[in-house]
Amino acid sequence: MSSVNKVSLSIAVAVALLMAGLATSPVHAQTPSVTASVDRTDLTLTDVLSLTLRIEGVANVHPLPQAPVISGLILVGTERRSHQTFAQGSLSAQFEFIFKYQPLRTGSINIDPINVILDNTVHITDPITVNVTGASGAAQSPTGGPPQPTSLVGQDFFAESEVDNETPYIGQQITYTLRFYSANAFSRPIYDAPDFAGFWNPGRSNEEESLANVAGRSYRVTEANTILFPTLSGALKIEPTNVSVRGGLLGSSVNQYPTRQIDLNVRPLPTGEPDSFTGAVGRYSISADVDFSTVDLGDPITLTLTVSGEGNMESLPAPEWPEVPGWRAFDNDAPYQMSIVDGKVQGSRNFTRVFIPSTSGSHEFPAVEYSYFDPEDEEYVTLTSRSFRVEVLPDPSSPATNPLLISEETEDAEAQAIRYIKPVPGSIGRRTSLLTTSSIFWMLWLTPLAGILILAVFMAYRKRPPAAVTVEPNAATAAALARLSTAEPGASVADTASMALHGYLDIRLQRATSGMSPTEIAESLSQLGASSSARAALVDLMGRIAEMRFSRREVDGSDEVAHEVQAIVRTLDRELSE
Amino acid sequence: MRTGTLLTLVVLASFVLVELVAANDSIDVEAFRNANLLYESGNYEEAARSYEHLSRLGYQDATLYYNLGNSYYQMDDMGRALLNYLRAKRLAPLDEDIEVNLSLVREGVGTPGSSQERPISVLAQFAGWVPWVSLNGAVLVALLCWLVIWAAALTLIWNRRVRHSLALRRIAVVAGFGLLLFGFLAVGNQVSRNHWAETGVIIARSTDVLEAPNSRARTEVNLDAGREVGVIETRAGWTKIRLPRTELEGWVLSSDVERVIQEEL
């Protein structure tokens, strides 16, 4: 075994042993234990009680235990810690859940046993009793001001929220303030703001930081203000804001510090609103202006009413515009600008309306009234703008108002006179019936088809097979027989028979057969359907006739040659006709 | 190439022949001249009557309609003036005089430009570029080209002696181009014809457009003379119209509206 292999084997054995050791670690061998404890049993109304739920003997905790609801105490914060140690060959895990409460009353307060489920087993802690006294002064009011120095004893973090007016009028501005006290300079709070249901939130909030020395300890106080306008009357609530702070080594734990819920009673606007009131709440002033005091008939003017002051500019309602006789009116844009000054929403909004005169003359634009409800003074206020006078000039393009225009129009008319008539044309077109409506016209388009058909028939005719040999069999036979019976002067029987036979074959084969051998003639007849016996007889006969002709002598049976020719002609005639 | 040129000349000559045959030689020049004299003397009503008489005799000429339109214009009958200018424009779409007078009438009736003109298809516009080619002329020359193509093709197929004849091939190619050109012209002419047959003009001083062909039906809108409309159908003395570039349809008395092309297609 090489040294390399030895090293590898050693490493493998060591890893295996380590894994075996880990697999049998005491974490799994331990019995889970759950205990609850408090940092003090005697406390005052301003103290914060830390209830620690400690879990040991498990690798992880799931589900996470929830903060118990304790009568007489209110939850003001949570914290979570975990420790894992490996010592003397065993792994030790410990989880701590710290719930921080503030007393709501004095006297004895019982903390009931806490149920924790671990590995499908319910673990129950022991009950705890704490005693609350009021000896250290007034308790921290949940809706009160900043916590007193003694209330922050023993706390690194604390969150509180409040509104500046818990009984506002609908549409009145209120400010929601969140304060977070932090003794840890490196912790940065993260806010989980409520949705502010029932409020119009312009999304503007400022955040300020300050330092406070409380009970000899320095705190960084972060204050966030959110401006709200109630949009509903009646009971409204603002859900708690959760402030989260990362803690532990390298931010391994997250501590949450919820604020209390804030309940508001939003009052409806009082009755007795003026006619010009359209829903504005706040404190405003108005001004009005018109862009032209003299216009031509048909030209528009724009009346602008500017509303300035404190209030919700974005939802500021438009005024009740007066009807102006002789003018057509159209609503226009209403741009606004808004800012926060000293915690109050301020700004202005320009309501514009376009008017178009339909008659000329001097027109009086009445004053525009604008009413609002002042929640500070709890009364309706009506403002009135100034009135305007607008002169509308007659239409300059109208001839009735511009005598000069008449002559101009006359000149235009002359300039635009129609062009003169045309002379008589050389030929005048006549209305004719359309060729496309004639059936003959469309039939002419089909004549190529007829040409194609004729051509096709003709081509087929030309290419027909030479079946014409059977066309005149009787004529051929008759000619042959006639030639046999009428021998030419000086011709021998063989010559006559040869001429008759070739004459017949010439007609049958449609070609001259005198130059063909008997075998070639037989082959041609074979293509026409002659039997082999007939062909053999023909070859034999032609051979004998040739012999008779070239020998120049009468051989035996020469008289019968004529009969044989007749017979072979009739035989071929029959066979070829079939 | 000599053969191709010859064939081209033959095609053109046949076209000219067709057009000359289509034109009427027995023109009533004297009546036309008299109508013009009536117009020049300021007797517009008599002039219009004379032009109308010629039109009823079967004459269909851009100059005739143009002069008739002028007569109605002088009589302040903008509806009929517009109608006859449109008829003239159909026959001579490139005539500048017609276009000028048509624009003036359109402005006079309150619809300047071609805002109320019904859009016409590209094919019809193509045909309008060569207004001297009538529908009959185009279809006849196209037919001639068609026959020549087939005759050349059949000869090439049938006769072995001319199978490789370059002249015949050129004839077929030239005839093919002719067929294509005059075929498009014929189609464009027909499309243009359909367009004008579906175009009407309100000739009454004022007419109500009703929801139904019934005098008791609700009035949708009132139209003045000279308003160009699309004609959808005619039924028992009522004509259904559509306002150009709108979805508004309704019925008017047939006597209040007249098509640019009156005869049956």
pLDDT digits (tens, 9 = 90+) for A7-24: 444 444 443 443 444 344
Range from A214-223, B75-84, B194-203 that averages highest in pLDDT: B75-84
Lowest-confidence region among A109-123, A222-236, B6-20 = B6-20
The mean pLDDT of A241-253, rounded to a whole number, is: 72
More confident residue, B114 or A139: B114
More confident residue, A301 or B49: B49
Spell out which residues of chain B touch residue A453, defining contact as CB-CB under 8 Å.
Answer: none
Tokens 């009052």 map to which residue?
A267
Give the pLDDT of residue B202.
94
Phi, psi for residue B207 in degrees, rounded to 5: -145, 145
- Please report the residues numbered 14 through 53 in chain B whose beta carbons come closer than 8 angstroms to any beta carbon of chain A: 22-25, 27-29, 32-33, 36, 39-40
Give the pLDDT of residue B239.
94
Q: What band does A554 get if pLDDT is binned at 50, 70 and 90?
A: low
Residue B172 in this model has a pLDDT that exceeds 80:
yes
CB contact under 8 A, B59 and A428: yes
Give the pLDDT of residue B52.
92
- What Rg do the C-alpha atoms of chain B give, in angstroms? 23
E strands in A154-247: 157-163, 174-182, 190-192, 199-200, 205-214, 217-230, 234-238, 242-247
Q: Give how far A300 is from chain B: nearest CA, Å.
A: 25
Q: Give how far B59 is from chain A: nearest CA, Å.
A: 4
Q: Is B70 on the interface with A (CB under 8 A)?
A: yes
Lowest-confidence region among A279-288, A306-315, A546-555, B183-192 = A546-555
Give the pLDDT of residue B62.
92
The residue in chain B having the minimum alpha-carbon distance to the alpha carbon of residue A438 is B136
What is the pTM assigned to this prediction? 0.39
Q: What is the pLDDT of residues B105-150, one digit of tens each?
A: 988 876 655 545 666 778 777 777 777 777 888 888 899 999 999 8
The mean pLDDT of B93-110, rounded to a whole number, is: 87
Residue A268 in this model has a pLDDT that exceeds 80:
yes
CB contact under 8 A, A424 and B100: no
More confident residue, A51 or A157: A51
Spell out which residues of chain A touch residue B151, defining contact as CB-CB under 8 Å.
Answer: 448, 451
Rounded distance between C-alpha atoms, residue B156 and residue B172, angstroms: 10
Query: Which of B93, B64, B110 is closest to B193 using CA atoms?
Result: B93
Structure tokens at B246: 């709108």
Rounded distance between C-alpha atoms, residue B134 and residue B15, angstroms: 10
More confident residue, A20 or A557: A557
**Which amino acid makes up residue B209?**
V
Handedness of CA B166, B171, B175, B178 (dihedral sign): positive
Give the pLDDT of residue A283.
92
Q: Give how far B173 is from chain A: nearest CA, Å.
A: 17
Rounded distance between C-alpha atoms, residue A559 and residue A542, angstroms: 15
The answer to whether A64 touches A253, Cβ cutoff 8 Å, is no
Eight-state DSSP code of residue B95: -
Residues 6+ apart with CB under 8 A from A143: A162, A166, A260, A262
Residue A6 in this model has a pLDDT that exceeds 80:
no
Q: Which among B58, B135, B154 has the least Cβ separation from residue A434?
A: B135
**How would you class A158 by CB atoms within 10 Å of its CB: exposed for 0-12, middle for 13-18, buried for 19 or more?**
buried
Lowest-confidence region among A99-103, A130-134, B52-56 = A99-103
Give the pLDDT of residue B254.
92
**Which amino acid makes up residue B69?**
G
Q: What band does B44 get if pLDDT is binned at 50, 70 and 90?
A: very high
Residues 6+ apart with CB under 8 A from A436: A442, B135, B139, B186, B190
CA diameter of chain B: 79
